[in-house]
Chains A and B, each alone.
Chain A
Amino acid sequence: MSISKEQIEQVAYLARIQISDAEKSALESKLSSILDMVDELQAADTDGITPMAHPLDATQRLRPDEVTEPNEREKFQKLAPEAENGLYLVPRVVE
C-alpha cells in the first residue's frame, strides 16, 4: 500500500511534524516501502482472534486516593524554555 503526498501532509499535521517539499518525495517512497512490508499482515487469518494490547494477562492495580506529591514547581520550571509567575508560556492562543 502506498501513501500519497496528501496523506503524508495530513498525517504530518496530525503529528505536528513539519516536512519540507524537498523531503516529501524521499519520505513518500520510504513510508510506502514500510507500509508495503507492513501489509503482509493482511494475509494473516485472524478470524476470531482477540486483539492483544498487552503482553501480560494482568489487570490494573489501583492506588489509594492519597495526596503524595509535594509542590516542586521551582524544580520543574527550571526546565521550561519559558515560564513566568509560575505559568508556562506559549504563543498566544486565540480561542
Chain B
Amino acid sequence: MHTKTLSELSRMLDSGETSSEELTRETLDRIKAQDSRYNSFITLAEEQAMASARQADEQRASGKASALTGVPFAHKDIFCTRDLRTTCGSRMLDNFVPPYNSTVAEKLDEAGAVCVGKTNMDEFAMGSSNETSYYGPVTNPWGDKLVPGGSSGGSAAAVAARLVAGATATDTGGSIRQPAALCGLTGLKPTYGRISRYGMIAFASSLDQAGTLTRTAEDSALMLNAMAGFDPRDSTCMDRAVPDYTEGLNNDIKGLRIGLPTEFFSDDLDPVMAQQVREAIREYERLGATVTEISLPHSHLAVPAYYVIAPAECSANLSRFDGVRYGHRCENPQDLNDLYLRSRSEGFGEEVKRRILVGTYALSAGFFDAYYLKAQKVRRLIQQDFIQAFEKVDVIMGPTSPSPAFAQGDKTDDPVNMYLEDVFTISTNLAGLPAMSIPGGMVNNLPIGLQIIGNYFDEGRLLNAAHQFQKVTDWHEKAPEGAV
C-alpha cells in the first residue's frame, strides 16, 4: 500500500478496501523498519496515530468522512502539535511538548488525517540540505550520501521513500520546492497569507508559508483544501474564500501563457539542467501552451535581499528562546546574562547563530538604512518585476534548483555557496507569490525540479498546470531504489 498516493489511499478507504487502522499500522511499521536509512523522522506519534486511525474508521463508517479522513501523513517538526513533541530540529526545543496545536495541525486533524510523526528539518528551517538539524542529517532516498535539500528535507525524504504519501512543509526561501526537486516530488508553496502561520514556529515572518510535499499535484490539491483558509489568530492570514482545488485539475491548459525569465536560463545554469527544463517546457507546448521569454531584471538581487531580510526577522523571532519559560536552559546560570548567553549558545546550532548575528548586524545602528531598508526597497523592485510579468503571462517556469541533489558535506563550509541553492526560489518568497516544483526530468539519474510560479492566490492554476503535465509524463512516478 505504501506506493499509493494520498488520493488512491483515500479511494481505498472510501471503498473499504482497507481501514485507517490497518494503513496506519503498516505505515508506522514501515517507518520503524526503514527510517534508519533516511533519518527523516524526529518523533513518531504511534499511540496518537493509532487512536486517530480508529476514530477515522468510525468516522468513515458513519459516513462523515472527508477525502483525507484516515489517511496517514507526517508533519514537518515546525508545526506545533498538541501533546506531541515539537523540536524545530533544534536542541533548544528538544524537550518541548506544546499544549496547543498550530492551525495547520488543527485543520488536518479536523479533516481526519492521521499524523504518524514529525519529520526532520534544518534547525529552525535554516538550511538547504538538512544538515543543520540537531537530530542529524537526512539522507536523500535517491542516493546514500546525497542531501535531500532543505529545510523540509525530512518531509521530502519521507515522501520520496514512500514512508508516507504526503507531508506538511514550510517554505521561507525555497524550503519546500528545493527538497521537492532534489527528491523527485511535487512541492507546493502557496501565496503568503493563504495558510495560517499560527503555531508554526517562525523563522522569517514575512516570508514563511506552509505548504505540501506529495508525489502528485492531485495530492497537493487535497492537502491544500484542508490546510488553506482564514484564521483570525494570524493577522497576516487573508480572509479569502478557499476554492476546491481539485475541481480545476482537469481543465484544459490550451492557451496557457508561460513566461520563461531570461535570468533563470543564464550561462551560469548547468547546460544539462537547462536542457532538461526546456524539454519539460516543450511538453507544455505540446499540450497547447504558448511560451514567451520574459525578464525579471532584479532577480540577481533576490539572494542578497533575502539574506538581509530573513536574518533580520529571524534575529528577533528567535529572541524568545531564552531559557526562561520553556526550552533549553544552561546548568547553573550565574546571572541573567549568563543564562541567556549559555542557554542560547548551547541551544542553537552554528547556522542559526550565524543568521542571528547577520540579522542583528543588519538591523544595528548605522547599518539599518544600508542593509535593511535597502533590502526592503529591492524587495519591492523584485515584486514589481513579477507584477509586470504577470500582465503578459499566466505562469512563469524555470528550474527549481541549480543542480540535482549534491553530496552531504559538499557545501557546509561555504554558507554563501549553500545559499545559492535557493537562487531560483527566493524571489517568490520575497514577492509572496505561490509556486510549485514538480518532477521535470532526470540528470545523472537524479530527479530535477520544474518550477512553476503563479500570480497571487492563483494556486488553482498552478495545480491544474502541474496535473496536466503529470498526466502526460511519468517523472513523478519515478521512485528511488529501495522505496518500492
Chain A–chain B contact at Cβ < 8 A: yes
Evaluate contact between A37 and B307: CB separation under 8 angstroms.
yes
> Pick the contact of B360 from A14, A19, A34 — CB < 8 Å?
A14
Q: 8 interchain pairs (CB within 8 A)?
A: A30-B415, A38-B371, A40-B300, A41-B304, A42-B374, A49-B377, A56-B238, A80-B326
Report the bound CA distance from A81 to B339 in whole Å.
Answer: 12
Which residues of A have CB within 8 Å of B414? 33
Evaluate contact between A55 and B431: CB separation under 8 angstroms.
yes
In the complex, per-residue mask of B292-310: 1 if CB is within 8 Å of any chain A CB, else 0: 0000001011011101100
Which residues of B have CB within 8 Å of A8? 357
User: From residue A8, how far is it (CB to closest CB) to chain B in Å?
Assistant: 7
Evaluate contact between A91 and B206: CB separation under 8 angstroms.
no
User: What residue in chain A is nearest B335 (Cβ atoms)?
Assistant: A91
Which residues of B have CB within 8 Å of A15? 315, 319, 344, 356-357, 360
Which residues of B have CB within 8 Å of A50? 377, 380
Which residues of B have CB within 8 Å of A39? 304
Enumerate A1-36 residues with CB–CB distance to B below 8 Å.
Answer: 3, 7-8, 10-12, 14-19, 27, 30-31, 33-36
In the complex, per-residue mask of B364-381: 1 if CB is within 8 Å of any chain A CB, else 0: 100000110111111111
Evaluate contact between A11 and B364: CB separation under 8 angstroms.
yes
Report the bound CA distance from A11 to B315 in whole Å.
Answer: 11
Given A8-B357, A34-B415, A60-B235: A46 touches B378 (CB 8 Å cut-off)? yes
Evaluate contact between A58 and B338: CB separation under 8 angstroms.
no
Categorize the interface residue count of chain A: 35 or more
Which residues of A have CB within 8 Å of B336? 90-91, 93
Q: Which residues of A contact B (CB under 8 A)?
A: 3, 7-8, 10-12, 14-19, 27, 30-31, 33-42, 44, 46, 49-56, 58, 60-61, 63, 72, 75-76, 78-82, 88, 90-93
B136 at interface by CB-CB < 8 Å: no
Report the bound CA distance from A35 to B353 in whole Å.
Answer: 15
Evaluate contact between A11 and B324: CB separation under 8 angstroms.
no
User: From residue A46, how far is it (CB to closest CB) to chain B in Å?
Assistant: 4
Which residues of A have CB within 8 Å of B431? 55
Could you say which of A10, A11, A33, A55 has the most chain B C-beta atoms within 10 Å of its C-beta?
Answer: A55
User: From residue A90, how far is it (CB to closest CB) to chain B in Å?
Assistant: 6
User: What residue in chain B is nearest A82 (Cβ atoms)?
Assistant: B329
B460 at interface by CB-CB < 8 Å: no
Evaluate contact between A41 and B361: CB separation under 8 angstroms.
no
Which residues of B have CB within 8 Å of A44? 298, 301, 374, 377-378, 381
Q: With A12-B357, A80-B324 given, can you name 19 additional A-B contacts, CB distance below 8 Å?
A: A8-B357, A15-B357, A17-B341, A17-B348, A19-B345, A27-B354, A37-B419, A38-B304, A38-B307, A41-B304, A41-B371, A42-B370, A42-B374, A51-B380, A54-B236, A55-B383, A60-B235, A61-B232, A91-B334
Evaluate contact between B353 and A17: CB separation under 8 angstroms.
yes
B62 at interface by CB-CB < 8 Å: no
User: What residue in chain A is nearest B420 (Cβ atoms)?
Assistant: A37
User: What residue in chain A is nearest B413 (Cβ atoms)?
Assistant: A30
Enumerate B311-348 residues with CB–CB distance to A below 8 Å.
Answer: 315, 319, 322-327, 329, 333-342, 344-345, 348
Which residues of B have CB within 8 Å of A79? 96-97, 99, 325-327
Q: Which residues of B contact A (CB under 8 A)?
A: 96-97, 99, 192-193, 206-207, 232, 235-236, 238-239, 298, 300-301, 303-305, 307-308, 315, 319, 322-327, 329, 333-342, 344-345, 348, 353-354, 356-358, 360-362, 364, 370-371, 373-381, 383, 414-416, 419, 430-433, 456
Evaluate contact between A88 and B232: CB separation under 8 angstroms.
no
Report the bound CA distance from A31 to B232 in whole Å.
Answer: 39
Could you say which of A15, A18, A81 has the most chain B C-beta atoms within 10 Å of its C-beta?
Answer: A15
Report the bound CA distance from A76 to B353 in whole Å.
Answer: 27
User: What residue in chain A is nearest B239 (Cβ atoms)?
Assistant: A61
Closest 4 CB pairs of A and B: A55-B432, A51-B376, A81-B329, A46-B377
Evaluate contact between A34 and B416: CB separation under 8 angstroms.
yes
Report the bound CA distance from A84 to B236 in whole Å.
Answer: 36
Evaluate contact between A34 and B358: CB separation under 8 angstroms.
yes
Given A11-B360, A18-B341, A46-B381: A38 touches B324 (CB 8 Å cut-off)? no
> Pick the contact of A58 from B207, B238, B324 — CB < 8 Å?
B238
> Pick the contact of B380 from A18, A33, A49 — CB < 8 Å?
A49
Which residues of A have CB within 8 Å of B378? 41, 44, 46
Which residues of B have CB within 8 Å of A41? 301, 304-305, 308, 371, 374-375, 378
Which residues of A have CB within 8 Å of B380? 49-52
Given A55-B383, A91-B339: A11 touches B357 (CB 8 Å cut-off)? yes
User: From residue A9, how far is it (CB to closest CB) to chain B in Å?
Assistant: 11
Report the bound CA distance from A92 to B333 in whole Å.
Answer: 10
Report the bound CA distance from A11 to B371 in whole Å.
Answer: 15
Evaluate contact between B99 and A76: CB separation under 8 angstroms.
yes
Which residues of A have CB within 8 Å of B193? 55-56, 58
